[in-house]
Amino acid sequence: MKNDGTEPAEGLSAKGPGGPAGSAPGGLERAAETPRRAGRTMREQVVRGIAIAPGIAIGPVYDTTEIPAEAPRRGIAPAEVEAERQRLADAVALSRKQIGKLKTRLGILPEEAQEELAPLLDAYVLMLGNSRLLRGARKRIESGLVAAETAVGDEAEAIAALIMAAKDDDRAGLKRRADEVREIARRLTRNLTATPFRSLKDVPEGAILVAEELTPADAALLDPARIAGVATEEGGADGHTAIMLRALGIPSVLGCVGLTGSVTRGDRAVLDGSAGTIVLRPGEKALEKGKEALAAFAKERQKLAKLRRLPAVTTDGEAVELQANLEIPAELPLIAQAGAQGIGLLRTEFLFMNREDLPDEEAQTLAYAQVLEAMGGDPVTIRVLDWGGEKDMEALSQGIAPTHAGPNPALGLRGLRLLLKRPELLEAQFAAILRVADRGSTRILLPLVTNPSEVKQAREIYERVARRLRRKGVHLPEKLPELGCMIETPGAALAADAIALEADFFAIGTNDLAMYTLAVDRAEAEVSHLYDPLHPAVLRLMQFATEAALRLRMPVSVCGEMAGNPRLVPLLLGLGIRTLSMNASAIPRVKQMVRALDIGDCARFARRVMEQSDPQRIHELVMNFGTGGKD
């Protein structure tokens, strides 16, 4: 079967979370002379690149290349214009379908991978709409009398050239934007010429994948359970592909100059994703060293696995609740494996994605019931629909949500604002959750709250739905599930004392709180370096909201990326947080940190941090906590 670029795809591998541990310039080293084979050197070679994702992989190399799309420049006769326009329209439709399949696959990827790939796929979808690329291509077909693939290529290069000509010091960011245009043009061209995409389905289990380059879409198709490691000739630590590989937890080294010309499929290799090296055809000494590193990694993983059954309790007996964030029900086994104490954030957007109609009350009831039953009585916090203009949901575009995201979707009709404007959406979700509330411990979370009146309106709808269900004879718990608020804007944090009077609990969403506080979109390369959740303004807003909740003895949790960073746990506990919700894979290391801490030490540390006004000093304190370093 021909691969359309959306197919998922004997060795050893040890993988670990985290970012690159260092980097080195790409290049080749030789050692341990061995026989030659078919004109290619058979001796051991060390290829150095950029450390991307930590872990050790030992296994056979599987090299893969992508057949280039043959699209020579071609003119057309005036009578062929309409046919070429139709060819382009068909290629666009097929490309949209392929991107849709990739978006569906997002649900089984780790949260970090989803956050990296989702905006990129959204950008691709926009370019496949009424974009400058397609308008220009259609115009070139008509006025230039060229074939569709020629028109697409020419227009993409013209746009890329304009992007690169911009007066901006961030050349890497400009190149990423230009490459995004070229990538969608590449997909259109392959579809126009019926050229198959790179297939990864035949990569043998345990192999180390070697390629000249991998696109983010390629990375999304990798199966971490099958691929031992990844090494490419091109790529850097800050690109979309690198972030994807780290999120997937596949030991990876990019930027290995000369790699593909030095390997033959089946060659044995030892890849070290922390050191940024891949040893080709390792000699006895290198192989033994690799096995020792592999064993050390495996031992560390086993150590973390043993924590699953141990409680998250500090050395002085303070219990901390560690919960998991859930994107789709398919992730439930990962939550069980991690030893989570429930689901702290069930995102319900999966119910609305990749469908033409809205999920009705019955469909939602079934989905929530499956999650609650799988959790076996452990608490589940369900966040109602958090739609934003940057999320492509066809079901909401049919007269429900704005037809376009607007110039700044982050500040537009989204989250609870949309639900209050279209209360039928909120009523359906409330009703579905209430109908399954007696099957487990359930709470409901409202997104993007900015003032108390919004919570009042939502509670009125909530209680009205409950009364309607009771009149229909639906059994509901005597005490309805608690209704809580996401604290993810400065306005909500500063009004937390007033909002707390209307809510039953708080969940601090540190990702959006940092974004709105610092006016920084992490997806924008030009300003992403300014995103800093440890900025004193962000920390003070978190402290204000936490103290507002604690004064009323109201539960408060953190459910952003900060919760899953072991380095930040002492600070969060010191601020008074006792519930953390994170990507399931982060729970073991966070639990390991919790079990090594004393609450008194954390409180003193937090007071010291909150006295600081310099973000760099705060980072130094956080990094040095517990290391004996100067603080």
Among candidate residues 256, 485, 535, 559, the one labeled active-site is 559
Compute CA distances 607 → 116, 573, 597, whole Å: 34, 11, 16
* Residue 180: half-sphere exposure toward Cβ, Cα within 13 Å: 21
* DSSP-derived pairing of the beta strands 343-347 and 321-326: parallel
602 tagged catalytic: no
Is residue 188 a contact partner of residue 152, using CB atoms and an 8 Å limit?
yes
d(CA 537, CA 513): 10
Instruction: Name the DSSP letter for residue 163.
Output: H
347 in a labelled binding site: yes
For the chain, give the number of residues.
631
Which candidate, 399, 385, 381, places its Cα nearest to that of 351? 385
**Residue whose structure tokens are 């400065």:** 490
Please state the φ and ψ torsions of residue 598, each to the nearest 5 degrees.
-115, 130
CA distances (Å), 113 to each of 8, 220, 247, 424, 621, in order?
15, 8, 5, 32, 29
Annotated binding-site residue? 202: no
Tokens 């890329």 belong to residue: 160
Contact status, residue 28 vs residue 46, Cβ threshold 8 Å: yes
The structure tokens 């304009």 sit at: 162
How far is Cα 403 from Cα 394, in angstroms, rounded to an integer? 10
Kindly give, in sequence order, each residue whose CB lies less than 8 Å from that of residue 136, ignoring residues fewer than 6 positions away: 151, 155, 158, 159
Residue type, 141: I
512 annotated as a binding-site residue: yes
Give the separation between CA 36 and CA 58, rounded to whole angstroms.
Answer: 22
Distance between CA atoms of 466 and 437, rounded to whole angstroms? 11
Does 176 appear as a known binding residue? no
- 240, 256, 485, 535: the active-site residue: 240
Q: What is the DSSP string of 330-357?
A: GGHHHHHHHT-SSEEEEE-GGGTTT-SS
Structure tokens at 608: 């010291």
3-state secondary structure 183-216: HHHHHHHHHHCCCCCCCCCCCCCCCEEEECCCCH
Q: Is 240 marked active-site?
A: yes
| Helices and strands of the chain, counted as H and E runs | 21, 17
Q: Are 103 and 121 in contact (CB under 8 A)?
A: yes
Phi, psi for 278 (deg, rounded to 5)? -135, 120
236 and 31 Cβ atoms separated by less than 8 Å: no
d(C-alpha 26, C-alpha 277), whole Å: 9
CA 526 vs CA 172, 237, 520: distances in Å: 9, 16, 10
How many Cα neighbours within 13 Å face the side chain of 149? 15
- Residue 155 carries which DSSP code? H
Residue 511 assigned to a binding site: yes
Using CA atoms, how far residue 196 sits from 84, 149, 193, 200, 469, in Å, is 21, 15, 9, 12, 53
Is 82 part of any known ligand binding site? no
Question: Is the four-CA dihedral 618, 624, 629, 631 of positive or negative sign?
Answer: positive
Instruction: Indicate the residue type of 537.
Output: A
Please, are residues 148 and 81 in contact by the beta-carbon 8 Å criterion?
A: no
Binding residues: 347, 383, 488, 511-512, 522
Name the residues annotated as catalytic.
Answer: 240, 559
**Binding site for Mg(2+), residues?**
488, 512
* Annotated binding-site members for phosphoenolpyruvate: 347, 383, 511-512, 522
